[in-house]
């Protein structure tokens, strides 16, 4: 009996054989790397997933190349400040900055904000393109001459009201893919998923849906439309 007890004490105080100790350290390193990797992956993924949990689900779907071109065409002849509401990877803001708009992107996803800032820096247009981690609904639209939105249908009614309340009379809104439910657009560029509608904010009051008196800005690539369902 005494011998067994003594053996036990000796067992606990004796360092494990060298090979076993090395394996244990390796195990800890592997667990640390996997745990750290999983944490990093979650930190990256969470901002892309959380839009699905918000009241208005506005996920990250980047604009197509023709959508970006259509925004620039729709805004042809205009100048001043511009904001893209939910700027994603910054592609619309960056293109707008390249054609002379003092452009701003507001975006909730911190990774996309970081990436956009990096792209602006890389293109040497940081002075014309800035990006902020900010909520669309908490963004004051009064200081912008041009507002761009590539949103979802379910948000357009609320956004229409926000634009009417905050934007000044000479400002315009370029809506990509989804149009406003009550307003008549000034012009439309493109069709289908690449369609962009331009709204003149001085005509912010909902107009009759069968009006034929809309004005085109004269660009050959834009057409006059008589109501929003084209």
Ligand X SMILES: C[S@@+](CC[C@H](N)C(=O)[O-])C[C@H]1O[C@@H](n2cnc3c(N)ncnc32)[C@H](O)[C@@H]1O
Write down the least CB distance from residue 87 to ligand X, Å: 5
Write down the least CB distance from residue 208 to ligand X, Å: 30
CB–CB of 152/56 below 8 Å?
A: yes
Write down the least CB distance from residue 187 to ligand X, Å: 19
Write down the least CB distance from residue 52 to ligand X, Å: 10
Nearer to ligand X, 139 or 184 (CB): 139
Calpha distance 93→8 (Å, rounded): 71
Nearer to ligand X, 105 or 184 (CB): 105
CB–CB of 79/171 below 8 Å?
A: no
Supply the Cα-derived Rg of the chain in whole angstroms: 27
When CB distances to ligand X are compared, the closest residue is 86
Calpha distance 146→130 (Å, rounded): 15
Q: Pull the structure tokens for residue 37.
A: 């990797």
Calpha distance 131→148 (Å, rounded): 14
Write down the least CB distance from residue 111 to ligand X, Å: 10
Q: Pull the structure tokens for residue 45.
A: 């993924």
Positions that interact with ligand X (CB under 6 A): 51, 58, 60-63, 84, 86-88, 91-92, 106-109, 112, 135-137, 150
Nearer to ligand X, 136 or 163 (CB): 136
Residue 85 backbone dihedrals phi, psi, to 5 degrees: -85, 110
Nearer to ligand X, 121 or 137 (CB): 137
Nearer to ligand X, 138 or 205 (CB): 138
């Amino acid at each position: 009996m005494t011998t067994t007890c003594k053996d036990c004490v000796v067992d606990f105080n004796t360092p494990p054989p060298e090979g076993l100790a090395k394996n244990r350290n390796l195990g800890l390193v592997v667990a640390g790397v996997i745990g750290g990797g999983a944490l990093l992956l979650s930190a990256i993924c969470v901002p892309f997933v959380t839009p699905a949990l918000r009241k208005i689900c506005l996920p990250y779907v980047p604009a197509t190349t023709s959508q970006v071109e259509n925004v620039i065409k729709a805004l042809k002849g205009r100048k001043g400040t511009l904001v893209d509401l939910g700027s994603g990877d910054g592609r619309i803001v960056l293109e707008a900055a390249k054609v002379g708009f003092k452009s701003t992107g507001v975006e909730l996803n911190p990774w996309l904000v970081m990436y956009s800032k990096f792209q602006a820096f890389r293109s040497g247009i940081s002075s014309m393109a800035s990006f902020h981690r900010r909520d669309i609904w908490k963004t004051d639209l009064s200081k912008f001459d041009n507002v761009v939105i590539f949103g979802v249908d379910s948000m357009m009614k609320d956004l229409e009201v926000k634009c009417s309340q905050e934007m000044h009379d000479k400002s315009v809104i370029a809506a990509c893919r989804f149009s406003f439910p009550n307003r008549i657009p000034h012009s439309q560029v493109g069709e289908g998923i690449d369609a962009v509608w331009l709204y003149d904010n001085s005509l912010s009051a909902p107009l009759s849906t069968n009006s034929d008196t809309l004005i085109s800005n004269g660009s050959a690539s834009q057409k006059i439309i008589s109501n929003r369902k084209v």
